[in-house]
Structure 1
């Protein structure tokens, strides 16, 4: 799904700051009784530029061309040709008279309608029989040029907005307001980004490469993370597929082979498009609150290839923050079996509510594809996706470059956007608003070369430290920094101790991403919060800070003194190899908890502190991951869309720096997001590991329990901390979000846009007698070896659009003393 935090930064910012087309028309279409007519075709006469009326009969249409007549048609009604007296014709009221001979055939209804004797369905079946493949997939190799224009606009500009005190000093921006060609509403551009790319692909080798030739934007020139987040709002989609993924939702395509079950279809009109006779079909949803569209498409009568299509998501669709969603595509038919997309337009209106008068933000993308070439084979090395350095020249192309490479020229109003936005970013009031939004997203307060934060960690609480305060910061000169230093200082008011952590990273070779890093940390932490060992994280958020929201006694906390040094490299794209060494000292931080172990065979002597030197080699593979930035740290753009494979081999070295134990540890982790058509999205993960050699409790693999009321990734919410301890384990998790598919069928719940959550998780493990014998902590080392321990859960998501609640149930091992059989967890987040 998208870098949501960066996107919502822009969204929050725009909500806070809250040449003209040649022909504009708008109004309402009614029948002779005054009843509004939905899904009526409205086009400029003798053209293919048109739209369909909304469910309340309203429409708006504009064109860059001069038009003198409007054609309104619907099956069962007489077609009307309306002369346009002016360039702008709004508030039209158009009456369609019924065709008595076909009156019985025209009924626009929700729910199931007859699938027999419907010519639109006959045409739809022809489309399936002659289903087109994307043109580029029909050739061994392909290449083309792609032009992309992204724009964000403030929606609903009226007198109340213009007079708002927040715009003091920025009044000049309203001179640049324009009218949206889809909705007819006034908007104010606040961000524009243009890019030109050359795309290459090899279908035989399954390789793809995209070279950015030029990028131009205004308002946020240096924020490439923001640009990447804006671009990721829009996903690639193919209307011939059964499902169209928009944001993190799977909408049923009107061309889907299952579309008959989700849409009603009406044959509305026919006309010539590019000298091809085409039929016009209107479609609309059979049921409310489902992830479906309404709109129309034109299809050729011989090749059965779609020439044009528009998709307008219903306002009642279960998708957050989006009041309107519109997609428009045009195609070139290369031959009888292959089509090529020539133009793609996407528009979304983001708003806090879906009320008609609510103000929000328009996000628009236009893509134009040209200069197709096929079967020009490249060497395999050409597709090497190894990371590369930031090319500043790409972002500073001159006017001549854009005049030559823009595949769709800007109109005069769009060219003025650059002037307005460049001026706006110099206004102190705008800078203050932008800075506040940046703090809200990143948690850091930006200074010149140094960021203070994260501000969300300023205050915490746990049973050992009592109330705790933490301050920190990091160097930040830009997102392409070749080095970065981060650190924090914390103080506990109960134990009266200072804690700290500091880390440094250096990018030694940008192409191979060879990075050296080192760090030091002295703090209190909750060990065993993850099966995949995380005790080498120098600056990670301390899971000890959960005392205010814990279940039972949450006092099994440890002191950790950690020193690390690592070298990592990316020899292949998204394949990372890291070799590191660490030295850590572990001891109990609470009188009620112990990490003691026996130091001799007679079990007469014990030690309370663990000193351990370790060398580890990890391999991480993340196919499909997309990142932004070329510095020592990169932001992941599509953080919920790619699988992760992780393999770790660790070697404990006894007597090196007074280290206590020899051991070997092997761990594997696999995480896979899943999108299950129209049934929502899921996530599955698998972990496995084994420790060879005798080690004490502090070095064993603790099955991660969760004694808080907050969801923790890949933990077991009904388990207490240290309830199961293993040296060999296999763990699996599966969670599924139905995205409201079931609740949408229940009338009382439909309007709440709630989402159904289910989950199941299990772990099997064992612990050797040798490790049990070594244990002197007083904690029983119990492993789920009799049978796998399992839990299952049911929940409701999207409560108030940001809250999820889940109820978790223990499946077995009910006899364990002080065990819990039930737990509730909450999670917060902004999701579409």
Structure 2
């Protein structure tokens, strides 16, 4: 808990505050004990260390401590704020045997709490709005970020010199007991429409107000995605891209202890109170309690607090409250949802961090009024000026919950803060680390992380680039870069532009030109991004000689359209010239006269369809930020037509390609990522227009590549590949005592590809690459240890077959950096 001196300087809005620790007579902490103000419904439970913090806006004179197997203890409060209490609970003389049972593992037999839980399972039906054909309700959502654990050292820190006034807004969290400073707030009011027969839902934003950082739509959307909607009746609840076992799960009795603690009226409904807590450490579980009605067996209230030992990065605390109201005797509708997360680099109690809080209120439910299907399919303009500029009178009448004094002060404080030069400088540094670009006026310079690279053709490569940036929602954007190789002493460049013509349909035109060195064949599915560049083209360190590089001059132009959400159609015309970038690599081919040619000139027209159900984005400009990257399915289908004798084109051909990627959250055993790719070139073409199986000669673990293959080791014109990668999330390591505290995560992978190459394509080949297709399915597999220092994963890769190929790499080690919860 925070030491007493921290509480002296915090806001005194609450009338009664208590904190401390609960122990038994031997000095052992009593975890999950009940703490409640006398004659009230306001209470909490102690954490794994027996510590508690409880506050109320009301004035109370007594606090009661209880736990099954111990005598209930009532303490009189002599002061409004009482901190660092040490409460000793005496064992009940008639219940000594029960103490052993309830202080640790709970029996699954003859346990009344589990009997009640089984009633919840038996009577669980589609809950709330799902019980009706159609529904409509108002939804008010308040998002807030707070800097927490405020102390005198932080206030006097040189970082905040000239900004000390912001600490006038500090308050104390009723959940953790830590002081905090609100730094950002966003309010949104929406009308939600749904049709369970059509399986459709639509949310129409009516008002939005925010303070804090400018252009913060990405931040707002990111927080919303972290706190995505959930149903406590589900077996697993997904937060931070992790699947937590719900305390109401049918598998809950294997991971939770349950205790029937009390029974009482809650809003005129007789309910049972059940406390639950984890059976084992390091698993994705909660502790807390819930109230369940004795006739409908529906949840009336539930509190969930993530176990502090859960294998979760950067998150020190997760706390959830949900309240339900009774529409009639059998239907409970959610009325309030509160979610708090404490983000911190360290999990120690004294470490500073940031609270992310979401409060969602629901009201004005209306049922069984149908709307036409077209109502749900019609897209809404993502930005309407009046929605984002509602006056104060609107918010006074529309808010479902009044702002407290601290929240009101945030708007004023942050308006002042944005005028402080020091704050602007700190904000720019943070924005550069997040985006990779440094803003100078209306131009972003970067990406700063790609300034240096290396390959066999260019040697050390130096790159500088920039883009126009007025706001996150620019309707047009220009981007340029220049690069120079110290070995080949050549200048490379790229320029591209795009313009959003219609915001509603996202009709966009684009074009550009790039002259560069590239590792072609680094992916199976082709990309027509004119400024796209793979890591394989400029990795600083590689396995073996990375000399199979191509000089490319690519020009593209086209347009895209999004007729419905996340369904993008695109038509692109391109023209490219290709030739080898090194003396040791050849892309030569025989032309129709039997002469050897070393350069390819090729125009193409590509028509593609890209569907990403579940993808979430922020912004309404020509570029949008993806919020839930890697957490949605991808379906791609592309048809390419190569044109001969058009602009000097060398080949006529047709290419068809498809890709399907899907992430799978598999309950309590982790997350699987799967990708299937298929493709075929229907006419004879040379090496540079075929589909080499993508090898990987870097030391990075690159998904959708084959780590133990060299570039161009396999060449195909027809292919099918499968990639599987499963992250167990530490569920195995958490059961090994010596590894438990390290919070490591187990990752396994499997990759396979089948391919063919025709005799006609082999006959065209005049390069120094010997064509071999994986007609016997090539495969490899890997085992990895992730979450090393919370940011690194190391993979041990094994080649499954084709071990007799010249220079075949049977084993390799790769790694990848990344931030994940």
Aligned to 1:341: 334
Q: Is contact 1:546–1:708 with CA below 8 Å preserved after alignment?
A: no
Aligned to 1:817: 806
What does residue range 134-149 of structure 1 map to in structure 2 within 5 Å?
134-149=127-142
**Is 1:168–2:161 an aligned residue pair?**
yes
Q: Is contact 1:133–1:337 with CA below 8 Å preserved after alignment?
A: no
Change (3 A) 1:219 1:789: same
**Is 1:515–2:508 an aligned residue pair?**
yes
Aligned to 2:706: 716
Q: Distance in 2 between matches of 1:436 and 1:385?
A: 41
Q: Distance in 2 between matches of 1:709 and 1:544?
A: 10
Q: Is contact 2:137–2:365 with CA below 8 Å preserved after alignment?
A: yes
Change (3 A) 1:132 1:81: farther
Measured against aligned partners, the alpha-carbon deviations of 1:454-503 in whole angstroms (never above 9, x if no partner) come to 11111111111111111111111111111111010111111111000000
Measured against aligned partners, the alpha-carbon deviations of 1:173-231 in whole angstroms (never above 9, x if no partner) come to 11111111111111111111111111111111111111111111111243212221222
Q: CA deviation at 1:38?
A: 1.5
Aligned to 1:577: 569
Q: Distance in 2 between matches of 1:512 and 1:216?
A: 25
Q: Is contact 1:289–1:316 with CA below 8 Å preserved after alignment?
A: yes
Q: CA deviation at 1:545?
A: 4.1
Q: CA deviation at 1:634?
A: 0.7
**Is 1:672–2:662 an aligned residue pair?**
yes
Structure 2 residue aligned with 1:784, among 770, 774, 777? 774
Measured against aligned partners, the alpha-carbon deviations of 1:224-275 in whole angstroms (never above 9, x if no partner) come to 1222122222121111111111111111111111111101111112222112
What does residue range 682-693 of structure 1 map to in structure 2 within 5 Å?
682-693=672-683
Q: Distance in 1 between matches of 2:755 and 2:109?
A: 59
Q: Distance in 2 between matches of 1:690 and 1:59?
A: 64
What does residue range 629-668 of structure 1 map to in structure 2 within 5 Å?
629-668=619-658
Report the secondary structure of 1:434's partner residue.
Answer: helix
Q: Distance in 2 between matches of 1:723 and 1:648?
A: 25
Q: Distance in 2 between matches of 1:546 and 1:565?
A: 26
Aligned to 2:580: 588
Q: Distance in 2 between matches of 1:328 and 1:675?
A: 24
**Is 1:310–2:275 an aligned residue pair?**
no
Aligned to 2:64: 71
Change (3 A) 1:733 1:582: same
Deviates more, 1:265-274 or 1:680-689: 265-274
Structure 1 residue aligned with 2:261, among 260, 268, 284? 268
**Is 1:531–2:531 an aligned residue pair?**
no
Aligned to 1:725: 715
Q: CA deviation at 1:793?
A: 0.7
What does residue range 46-61 of structure 1 map to in structure 2 within 5 Å?
46-61=39-54
Aligned to 1:609: 599
Report the secondary structure of 1:267's partner residue.
Answer: strand
Q: CA deviation at 1:301?
A: 2.0
Aligned to 2:540: 548
Change (3 A) 1:596 1:264: same
Change (3 A) 1:110 1:243: farther
Superposition CA RMSD, Å: 1.5
What does residue range 210-289 of structure 1 map to in structure 2 within 5 Å?
210-289=203-282
Corresponding pairs, count: 810
Q: TM-score, normalised by structure 2?
A: 0.97
Q: Distance in 2 between matches of 1:633 and 1:645?
A: 20
Measured against aligned partners, the alpha-carbon deviations of 1:799-818 in whole angstroms (never above 9, x if no partner) come to 01000011111111111111
Q: Distance in 1 between matches of 2:506 and 2:712?
A: 38
Q: TM-score, normalised by structure 1?
A: 0.95
Aligned to 2:6: none
Aligned to 2:181: 188
Aligned to 2:416: 423
Structure 2 residue aligned with 1:371, among 364, 367, 376? 364
Aligned to 2:794: 805
Deviates more, 1:536-545 or 1:187-196: 536-545
Q: CA deviation at 1:65?
A: 3.0
**Is 1:39–2:38 an aligned residue pair?**
no
Deviates more, 1:734-743 or 1:29-38: 29-38
Q: Distance in 2 between matches of 1:436 and 1:134?
A: 47
Aligned to 1:566: 558
Gaps of 5+ in 2: 1-11
Q: CA deviation at 1:67?
A: 3.0
Q: Distance in 2 between matches of 1:33 and 1:614?
A: 80
Aligned to 2:785: 796
Q: Is contact 1:312–1:324 with CA below 8 Å preserved after alignment?
A: yes
Gaps of 5+ in 1: 1-18
Structure 2 residue aligned with 1:471, among 458, 464, 481? 464
Deviates more, 1:685-694 or 1:70-79: 70-79
| Structure with more contact order per residue of length (Cα contacts < 8 Å, sep ≥ 6) | 1
Q: Distance in 2 between matches of 1:20 and 1:30?
A: 30
Q: CA deviation at 1:547?
A: 5.1
Q: Distance in 2 between matches of 1:89 and 1:385?
A: 57
Q: Distance in 1 between matches of 2:812 and 2:196?
A: 49
Q: Is contact 1:616–1:651 with CA below 8 Å preserved after alignment?
A: yes
Aligned to 2:5: none
Report the secondary structure of 1:325's partner residue.
Answer: strand
Report the secondary structure of 2:570's partner residue.
Answer: strand
Report the secondary structure of 1:161's partner residue.
Answer: helix
Q: Is contact 2:608–2:639 with CA below 8 Å preserved after alignment?
A: yes
Q: Is contact 2:517–2:537 with CA below 8 Å preserved after alignment?
A: no
Structure 2 residue aligned with 1:81, among 46, 53, 74? 74
Q: Distance in 2 between matches of 1:400 and 1:465?
A: 63
Structure 2 residue aligned with 1:600, among 585, 592, 595? 592
Q: Distance in 2 between matches of 1:812 and 1:330?
A: 57
Change (3 A) 1:821 1:201: same
Deviates more, 1:694-703 or 1:268-277: 268-277
Change (3 A) 1:825 1:33: closer
Q: Is contact 1:524–1:544 with CA below 8 Å preserved after alignment?
A: no
Report the secondary structure of 2:386's partner residue.
Answer: helix
Report the secondary structure of 1:556's partner residue.
Answer: coil
Aligned to 1:738: 728
Aligned to 1:462: 455
Q: Is contact 2:106–2:258 with CA below 8 Å preserved after alignment?
A: no
Report the secondary structure of 1:548's partner residue.
Answer: coil
Q: Distance in 1 between matches of 2:579 and 2:410?
A: 61
Q: Is contact 2:536–2:696 with CA below 8 Å preserved after alignment?
A: no
Q: Distance in 1 between matches of 2:397 and 2:103?
A: 50
Q: CA deviation at 1:446?
A: 0.7
Deviates more, 1:401-410 or 1:217-226: 217-226
Report the secondary structure of 1:288's partner residue.
Answer: coil
Q: Distance in 2 between matches of 1:544 and 1:644?
A: 23
Q: Is contact 1:387–1:513 with CA below 8 Å preserved after alignment?
A: no
Runs of 4+ that moved beyond 4 A: 108-112
Q: CA deviation at 1:336?
A: 4.5
Q: CA deviation at 1:568?
A: 0.9
Report the secondary structure of 1:27's partner residue.
Answer: strand
Q: Distance in 2 between matches of 1:750 and 1:31?
A: 27
Q: CA deviation at 1:110?
A: 7.9
**Is 1:107–2:100 an aligned residue pair?**
yes
Report the secondary structure of 2:553's partner residue.
Answer: strand
